[in-house]
Amino acid sequence: MISSFALSTEELRESYGQGACHCPSPNEQMTLVFSQSKALDLVELEQLLQSVGWSHRPPRKVKKALDNSLLKVGLWKHDPKFPRLIGFARCTGDGLIEATVWDVAVLPIYQGFGLGKQLMIYIKKSLKEIGIRRITLFADPGVVEFYTRQGWVLEPKGHRCAFWYAN
């Protein structure tokens, strides 16, 4: 459902940047917005990623990784003064053929309301719009089903996937 407090196109653009759009909200009192261009506060992003249990990454590296990403999506809980980042994901890629999704996270208190699914729908749509038709991701063991239920296909029997880790 789109909240009854939906923003006008102009308000969306002013507060969340070009191309921002509403995310269906589980609660009509809560206005949710996807934005690819609203500036991310690195501290707020770090808090979100740590809230889902991920380890700390140096802010300078994170900033550079964001700058080099093909797509960064913030899911914002709208507030005229203090919008709150409640979800995030980013993609890397060549911008034409391939993209890989990273750092998909929804703040724990907002989990289980369909927002992670909406985030993935939004990412697939955004990548499709720039012509990308093959997307990969590396799911943590506990969330494989979250993806397969949305139509993601597991690489069969581990035959075609390779990793290399620097020591």
Binding mask 106-135 for ligand COA (x = CB under 6 A): x----xxxxxxx------------------
Q: Select from 11, 46, 62, 146 the one that contacts ligand COA (CB under 6 A).
A: 146
Q: Select from 6, 42, 52, 121 the one that contacts ligand COA (CB under 6 A).
A: 52
End-to-end CA distance of the chain: 47
Instruction: Give me the least distance between CB of 23 and ligand COA, in Å please.
Output: 11
What is the widest separation between alpha-carbon atoms in the chain? Answer: 52
| Pick 18 or 75: Cβ nearer ligand COA | 75
* Number of Cβ atoms within 10 Å of the Cβ of 88: 23
Token pair recorded at residue 116: 């992670």
- How far apart, in Å, are the Cα atoms of 165 and each of 10, 126, 162? 46, 30, 10
What phi and psi, each to the nearest 5 degrees, are found at residue 10?
-65, -45
Catalytic positions are 147
Of 14-22, 59-67, 102-110, 156-164, which part binds ligand COA (CB under 6 A)? 102-110
Report how far residue 1's alpha carbon sits from residue 58's, in angstroms, rounded to the nearest whole number: 37
- Give contact residues for ligand COA (rule: CB under 6 A): 52, 104-106, 111-117, 139-140, 142-143, 145-146, 149
